[in-house]
Amino acid sequence: MRKMNLRIIVAVLIIGLLTALTAGCIHDGGKDGIGGVIQTALDSGGDLKKFNSTDELIEFLKEAGRTGYPYYYRGSGGVIEEITSIPEAPVPVATPSFVEKASTGETYATDYSRTNIQVEGVDEADFVKNDGKYIYIISQKRLVIIDAYPPENATIVSDVEIEGTPVDMYVNGDRLALFSREYDEIEAIPPYDYMPRPQRREMTHLHIYDISDREKPEQIEDLATSGCYYQSRMIGDYIYFVTRETPLYYGDFVELPVIKPLVGNALNPDIYYFGNPEDSYTFTMVASVDIKDPDELNARTFLMGYSNTLYVSANSIYITYQKHLPYRYSEVLQKERFNEVILPHLPEDVQDKIRDIQKDESLSSYEQWERISEVLERMYNGMDEDEKRRLIDEIEEAVREWENKIEAEMRKTVIHKIRIDGGNIEYEGRGEVEGYPLNQFSMDEYQGYFRIATTTSFWNRDRGYVEYNNLYVLDEKMEVVGELKRIAENERIYSTRFMGDRLYMVTFKRTDPLFVIDLSDPENPVVLGKLKIPGFSDYLHPYDERHIIGIGKETEESSWGGVSIDGLKLALFDVSDPEHPKEVDKVVIGERGTDSEALVDHKAFLFDRKRNLLVIPVREVVDDRVYGPWEVWQGAYVFNLTIEDGFTLRGKITHFEGEDKWYWHSPAAVRRSLYMDDVLYTISERCIKMNDLSTLHEINEVELPIDEKTYYPIR
């Protein structure tokens, strides 16, 4: 009976040791790491290769085990065609989007705000743009142009219906480019079928308009690109945009990435791939077009993991995604763990017997493990209880350490660097770092180096939650040359901002540590100082070189020892002494539940230092009673902001009527703000209001043509 019980105990322990780790683990190939097949699979080299035919692509997808959903092929012949290359040209200097007054005889503002962007000279698309006279807005499925200056005469001058779902746009002089998500429907004969069948495919349409006559915008191009619109940037006259699409194929037919211009033949960009395996694949197309001359078109498609964070400098696009190995590698990894971690802790004679069994090629893997199990059972039967417990504890501790290391390694981010120059698109290289970036502000390019801040988090085998943060510096070859790891353990990144050779980083769990990190020596980043205060910041914005604005939430200790999140918090930090950063002023708006679109979208944040102006949209919870609906106010808070006086409320603007005050999200909620000269414009889905910047006295209001019955607050 004792032997049977021991058999059960040993079986449970060994099975537990062999099955605790799941698929997708990664390792960097260090001398004490995984070897053999796993290390090869995880090799970050992954040289860039190009598919020379559709057959090669299909075979690659089959080999990768990527089945997808049955989807019929619509191509003409299945051959991947190459887009004609564009002559090289220098990147133009980004210029303000405005029409020269002298050429129109119209009245334009001498000063006006623009979209809040991350990188100077790299414009970001938004659903609202202005050029100092006209406001361009996507209103549901319409492009609306408002003659907004002077405000007393503001009126809608054109209203264009857009097919599909419009999302983002740019304005550049007399050109307007608008992205929409659509489904193209065509009829095609499926493989080996006998009649045409209706088929749908998600497409991104880039509509380019000549708006020299604002009353009659004329569409001059409609580029239909396969895949879902992801992100875009405009540098000078060139728009760079990214679409994503899951590879779908049926039998020996595959849907190739395609670009269809309004006039002319459809084009299939070259498709590139990498040697390393992924759990799943996505066609990521990077394309460029000259907004002034849409015939200048360039594109490349990369078969990679599903990208979820993108950063663009004046010279490069950085596309990142989380790396995952196919499930089939989990079994190999379990064997590696047994051989590298468990086996070395066993008595030498037992190790020798097990290795002899493993060398016997006449045995199947199942037969090998049966015999190894017998060896282990005899070993344990020859031990007393104390010896068995010591050995089991020793093995479990080694496995725990190894699994924690592997769990951290499997949380890796792949970074692809793509060079852009005057519309040209060239792949430059890739790198890998541990952890995941939060958003585009977690990344930066400065003096030839790429910097990225990440958070690593996972559950270990003891059901404990491990979390910490990292900073990496990569050179032009995308090799890590400097790093800081395990910053603020048991916390995660809430916001970051790179400013020259400094990184300002906010983490949070119970209090808000603002870290000041020195990057003047890229190979040796150093934490200079940190400030711990209640609350946290979701977005950081430079006030000047020595001060930073933060917007997030206030917190306080709860009666049960935890942390409760309260109202919206604005903070001004003094970082002139990097070793001792200070919070010099703060303001808290509303009760718990108070929110702002600026927390998740920096384009909702309006700040102008020369005007001491800060405007943010707010959904303010006025009454957070436990029972009954909250009383909510929605609108824009308008502040004066100076170093000397901090935040001073100028006033508040709302688009609400009395009956709307209970709305959680409403078409009357202010989402954007901008100024032209001394006029503040606040924009909701319902209307645009114009107020005097000094007094906030209302000047005018323009209603927008929306159907509130079909209103969707999430764009």
Q: What is the DSSP string of 56-95?
A: HHHHHHHHHT----------SS---PPPPPPPP-PPPPP-
Instruction: Inform me whether the pLDDT recorded for 624 exceeds 60.
Output: yes
* The pLDDT value given to residue 406: 77
* The pLDDT value given to residue 22: 33
List the structure tokens of 693: 């910047």
Q: Kindly state whether residues 32 and 133 are assigned to the same domain.
A: no
* The pLDDT value given to residue 147: 98
Whether residue 542 lies inside any domain: the answer is no
Mean pLDDT across the stretch 55-71? 65
The whole-chain average pLDDT of the chain stands at 84
Mean pLDDT across the stretch 211-227? 96
List the structure tokens of 598: 């600026």
Q: Kindly state whether residues 111 and 40 are assigned to the same domain.
A: no
Cβ within 8 Å of residue 48, ≥6 positions away = 272, 273, 274, 427
Whether residue 667 lies inside any domain: the answer is yes
Q: Kindly state whether residues 331 and 200 are assigned to the same domain.
A: no
Residue where one domain finishes, among candidates 236, 254, 283: 236
Instruction: Inform me whether the pLDDT recorded for 429 exceeds 90.
Output: yes
Mean pLDDT across the stretch 333-361? 90
Q: Kindly state whether residues 141 and 14 are assigned to the same domain.
A: no
Tokens 């000078």, residue? 236
Residue where one domain finishes, among candidates 236, 264, 293: 236
* The pLDDT value given to residue 572: 97
Whether residue 455 lies inside any domain: the answer is no
Which of 588, 643, 638, 645 is CA-nearest to residue 617? 638
Instruction: Inform me whether the pLDDT recorded for 672 exceeds 90.
Output: yes
Instruction: Inform me whether the pLDDT recorded for 696 exceeds 50.
Output: yes
| Confidence category of residue 3, pLDDT binned at 50, 70, 90 | very low
User: Which has the minimum average pLDDT: 8-17, 286-295, 521-530?
Assistant: 8-17
| Confidence category of residue 563, pLDDT binned at 50, 70, 90 | confident
| Confidence category of residue 543, pLDDT binned at 50, 70, 90 | very high
Mean pLDDT across the stretch 588-616? 96
* The pLDDT value given to residue 112: 97
Instruction: Inform me whether the pLDDT recorded for 323 exceeds 60.
Output: yes
Mean pLDDT across the stretch 162-186? 93
Mean pLDDT across the stretch 235-250? 91
Mean pLDDT across the stretch 7-15? 42
- Select the more confidently predicted residue: 561 or 489: 489
Whether residue 428 lies inside any domain: the answer is no
Instruction: Inform me whether the pLDDT recorded for 375 exceeds 90.
Output: yes
Residue where one domain finishes, among candidates 178, 208, 236: 236
Cβ within 8 Å of residue 345, ≥6 positions away = 391, 394, 395, 398
Which range, 272-276, 361-365, 495-499, is most confident?
495-499
List the structure tokens of 612: 């001491």
Q: Kindly state whether residues 100 and 224 are assigned to the same domain.
A: yes
* The pLDDT value given to residue 66: 44
Whether residue 275 lies inside any domain: the answer is no
Domain that holds residue 682: 595-715
* The pLDDT value given to residue 576: 95
pLDDT in tens, 505-529: 999 876 668 999 999 999 999 999 9
CB-based contact 201:183 (threshold 8 Å): yes
Query: CA 56, 59, 63, 68 torsion: positive or negative?
Result: positive
Q: Kindly state whether residues 229 and 116 are assigned to the same domain.
A: yes
Mean pLDDT across the stretch 165-180? 97
What is the number of structural domains in the chain?
3
Instruction: Inform me whether the pLDDT recorded for 437 exceeds 90.
Output: yes
Q: What's the rounded Cα separation, in Å, for the pair 684 and 667?
A: 6
- Select the more confidently predicted residue: 376 or 626: 376
| Confidence category of residue 65, pLDDT binned at 50, 70, 90 | low
User: Which has the minimum average pLDDT: 67-81, 139-153, 594-608?
Assistant: 67-81
pTM recorded for the entire structure: 0.84
Q: Kindly state whether residues 97 and 34 are assigned to the same domain.
A: no
Cβ within 8 Å of residue 560, ≥6 positions away = none
Mean pLDDT across the stretch 704-708? 84
Residues in the chain: 715
- Select the more confidently predicted residue: 622 or 393: 393
Whether residue 526 lies inside any domain: the answer is no
* The pLDDT value given to residue 552: 94
Burial class (CB in 10 A: 0-12, 13-18, 19+), 610: exposed
Strand partners, 10: none
* The pLDDT value given to residue 605: 98
Q: Kindly state whether residues 40 and 106 are assigned to the same domain.
A: no
* The pLDDT value given to residue 428: 95
User: Which has the minimum average pLDDT: 49-63, 206-220, 651-665?
Assistant: 651-665
* Phi/psi at 649 (5° precision): -70, 120
Mean pLDDT across the stretch 214-219? 97
* The pLDDT value given to residue 73: 36
Mean pLDDT across the stretch 394-406? 85
Strand partners, 689: 682, 701
Mean pLDDT across the stretch 594-619? 97
Q: Kindly state whether residues 37 and 98 are assigned to the same domain.
A: no
Whether residue 502 lies inside any domain: the answer is no
Share of the chain above pLDDT 70, in %: 80
Instruction: Inform me whether the pLDDT recorded for 160 exceeds 60.
Output: yes
User: Which has the minimum average pLDDT: 91-105, 384-398, 408-422, 435-449?
Assistant: 91-105
Mean pLDDT across the stretch 99-119? 79
Share of the chain above pLDDT 90, in %: 61
User: Which has the minimum average pLDDT: 266-280, 527-541, 630-644, 651-665?
Assistant: 651-665
Mean pLDDT across the stretch 441-446? 98
Mean pLDDT across the stretch 680-702? 97
* The pLDDT value given to residue 68: 38
User: Which has the minimum average pLDDT: 368-377, 401-410, 414-423?
Assistant: 401-410
Q: Kindly state whether residues 97 and 35 are assigned to the same domain.
A: no
- Select the more confidently predicted residue: 335 or 84: 335
Q: Kindly state whether residues 351 and 221 are assigned to the same domain.
A: no
Long-range contacts of 81-85 (CB under 8 A, 24+ apart): 81/267, 81/268, 82/269, 82/270, 83/259, 83/267, 83/269, 83/270, 83/297, 83/298, 83/299, 85/298, 85/424
Instruction: Inform me whether the pLDDT recorded for 331 exceeds 50.
Output: yes
* The pLDDT value given to residue 40: 46
- Select the more confidently predicted residue: 212 or 6: 212
Whether residue 574 lies inside any domain: the answer is no
| Confidence category of residue 10, pLDDT binned at 50, 70, 90 | very low
* The pLDDT value given to residue 464: 74
Q: Kindly state whether residues 623 and 691 are assigned to the same domain.
A: yes
Question: Which alpha helices (H) appear in 181-337, and where do they start and end?
Answer: 329-337
- Helices and strands, counts by H and E, the chain: 8, 42
